[in-house]
Amino acid sequence: MAVADAGVIDQIVRVDGGRLTLVIQVPLTWYHGGQEQLDQLVAKINSYLAWIDSGQCVTAYPDAADGVDILVVGMDEPTGKAATMLLSAKNALVQKGIGLFYQAAVEQMDV
């Protein structure tokens, strides 16, 4: 479970030449887990924020000075406490000029 390791950035991407995006990968049933899983997700987001705030992000990726986003990717849409927490985090991060987004991954199935 990548999200359980708060000290590791799961993935860094730039979508369509846009802002640098730090990706958090959430396991299949993540959003439906208990408080411990939500606490791990908060710790992961805070770890990403610390890396950005410390200047390490811009040192590694100078064009990150133009802005950074955090993308949380899971197998389904967050609900309940997870959705509330992500909305709260999004509202706090936007004040720092950091976008927070979540996306439900689409599984490709062979039929």
2-104 is a CATH 3.40.1560 domain: yes
pLDDT of residue 77: 82
The gap between the terminal CA atoms of the chain, to the nearest Å, is 28
Percent of the chain with pLDDT over 90: 50
Distance between CA 35 and CA 11 in Å, rounded? Answer: 24
Domain boundaries, the chain: 2-104
Q: Which residue has the higher pLDDT, 50 or 35?
A: 50
pLDDT digits (tens, 9 = 90+) for 74-91: 888 888 888 899 999 999
Residue that the structure tokens 């062979």 belong to: 110
The mean pLDDT value for 60-64 works out to 91
Q: What is the pTM of this model?
A: 0.87
The mean pLDDT value for 22-50 works out to 84
